[in-house]
Structure 1
Amino acid sequence: MATTPNSTSPLSQFSFQFYNRPGISWSTRQKTEFIDELRACASRCLDPIPDYQCLSYSPSSLDDKLIAVARLGSSTGPIAAFFSSVILTVPSLETPTTTIPVLHTGLTIAVPEVRSLGLSVILGAHVLLHMLEMQPLGYWFTGLAEVSSNLVNLARYGHNVFPSPNISPSPSDMHLHIARAIASSTQTRAKFSISPEAVFDEASFVFRGANPPGSCFRKNSDDEQWHHRDKRFTSFYRKPLGVNEGNAVLVVGYILPSSILDPIRKESRLHGVTTGTKAKL
């Protein structure tokens, strides 16, 4: 099922869809066709296209993904942008024999001609809202980026996000627990596309050398196209990123119902974000 924003909005040219771990129930052909579509979109932004996340043809690559897409025109139109997240399981801090779900916000792609429309925020809201259906009291999330605008969006919509200019300069025990679980796991590093040689700085939550030379994710943090309009937040994240050093900042935070429901009510661009986008697949 798909939804389309109000016809007076520039976003009315898009049809939005949501997919909840489609790899579990789809046939091999369905998975391959969908990955082909995602890769066609990603090819406009990434060179080379990585064998990573929802872009991988691995048989299980879509099994743990929550994916929101924006298609041009109808629900069968080409994908112009997508937001693909990963559901991780992390040992509980209080009871290590049990696990808690952590949503990694993952991979966001928008083709250049639609990048200024804020589709990444809209698609991200779709994903955060649907995860809230599964975890109605709230849930922990992570994000990793060498792009300050992505980090700013996560800090603005999340609760108790570290690092952020709005909270303590030191991580809490839970922030550190989740970060260590990611940094110490070869498998999770691969899911995050973190170089095996990258060094994690627990004080700043920076993976130094996360994106080595030649990586399609390596960005120049001084380039203003990657900056957010919030200059204070942008300045905060640009400092640990360095200049073309391949560093990536890990943010860890919590999503409360109000974290996403309040913006959906208050921000006009998010008014079309509802559970009606869920694809019953």
Structure 2
Amino acid sequence: MDVTIRSGADYIVRIVERPGMWMTQGQLVALSTDLRSVAARTLNNGDLSYGIFSGDPARMGAVIITLVSRPDGTPIAFNALAVMTLDTAPHPTDVLHLGLVMVDPAERQRNLSWVLYGLTCFLIFFRRQFRPVWISNVTQVPAVVGMVAEMFSYVWPRPGKGRRTLNHLLLARQILAKHRSVFGVGPEAEFDEERFVITNAYTGGSDDLKKKWEDAPKHRDERYNDFCAEQLDYERGDDVIQLGQMDLSAMRTYLSRAVPKSAVLGLLVLGSLVALRRVVLPIIYWSDSRTHFATLRPWKAPTK
């Protein structure tokens, strides 16, 4: 998936799926340069030692990048959503990790959360013919905890309601056992299965993302602020890990509450085109036996 849409008059959004599998080295370098540009303005000279900033094809082969730019091409925000394949029965389960989100401080409070957190999950949900998509989120920011709890279905943990199911527990165990590098958590961090809290979480490359309580953006609903203050030790550096689903109920919530009314129709059209492309492109590939399509080799000699 490589799609570009406009978000109002001020922003251009590009979503790039698994760029390490198909982009040239030059394109990967350009993309990672844009990501580092946003990170430099966000971290105040901080430096991340994990993830997507090197342009390494191996690291970029399992992520979906949502990059928001101004019309002049200046990048101002991104989300690096990771695709984690978990070994579950009877079939493997893909979990979309909401990943690293950064927004230029000058562009905050501009209602970009619907683009950075929900848009890619929405399009993947459309492409999967409305089959539920598991999502995960690791954070210590109350505003993000609340946003995820309100945008997706069956989210655990969350204050006040919801319940932990066996699926939540089994998926979380696998994520912490095999995919810590996705969100920069070191091997010494411990997972509290009762509270879904990762203690001492900022020692695996994500050190510069650690926040003090007073610096962590708060949610408008005090329940989420109180929840994080009670459950997380900010001096030690704790994170909460949330698991939930993008399903039909979450899609309705996303379209009715998060997406600006002026963008709903365009988003539905884009989702339909993304889903249709998954049907049409295999037919085109199958019909043309002489053309080389990436890893699909022609079985007839090309016509000269």
TM-score range, shorter chain: 0.7 to 0.9
Contact 1:144 1:249 in 2 (8 A): yes
Per-residue deviation, residues 213-246 of structure 1 (Å, max 9, x unmatched): 99111001233x5111111122212321223321
Are 1:164 and 2:155 matched, yes or no? no
Q: 1:177 aligns with which of 170, 185, 188?
A: 170
Contact 1:102 1:140 in 2 (8 A): yes
Contact 2:138 2:239 in 1 (8 A): yes
Q: 1-side partners of 2:262 and 2:197: how far apart?
A: 34
Contact 1:241 1:249 in 2 (8 A): yes
> What letter matches 1:35 in structure 2?
S
Task: Show the 5 A alignment for 1:22-171.
Answer: 22-46=19-43, 47-74=45-72, 77-92=73-88, 94-95=89-90, 98-135=91-128, 136-168=130-162, 171=164
- Structure 1 runs of 4+ aligned residues shifted over 3 Å read 265-268, 275-280
- Deviation at residue 115 of structure 1 after TM alignment: 1.2
Contact 2:21 2:57 in 1 (8 A): no
Match of 1:210 in 2: 201
Q: 1:19 aligns with which of 3, 16, 19?
A: 16
- Say which one has the larger Rg: 2
Q: Which has the higher contact order (CA 8 A, sep 6+)?
A: 1
- May I ask how many residue pairs the two structures share in their alignment? 267
Q: 1-side partners of 2:238 and 2:74: how far apart?
A: 33
Q: 2-side partners of 1:268 and 1:139: how far apart?
A: 19
Q: Return the TM-score normalized by structure 1.
A: 0.86
Counterpart of 1:161 in 2: which secondary structure? strand
Match of 1:9 in 2: none
> What letter matches 1:26 in structure 2?
M
- Deviation at residue 149 of structure 1 after TM alignment: 1.1
Are 1:4 and 2:6 matched, yes or no? yes
Q: Give the gaps of 5 or more residues in structure 1.
A: 7-11
Further displaced range: 49-58 or 65-74: 49-58
Q: Give the gaps of 5 or more residues in structure 2.
A: 278-304
Identity of aligned residues (%): 23
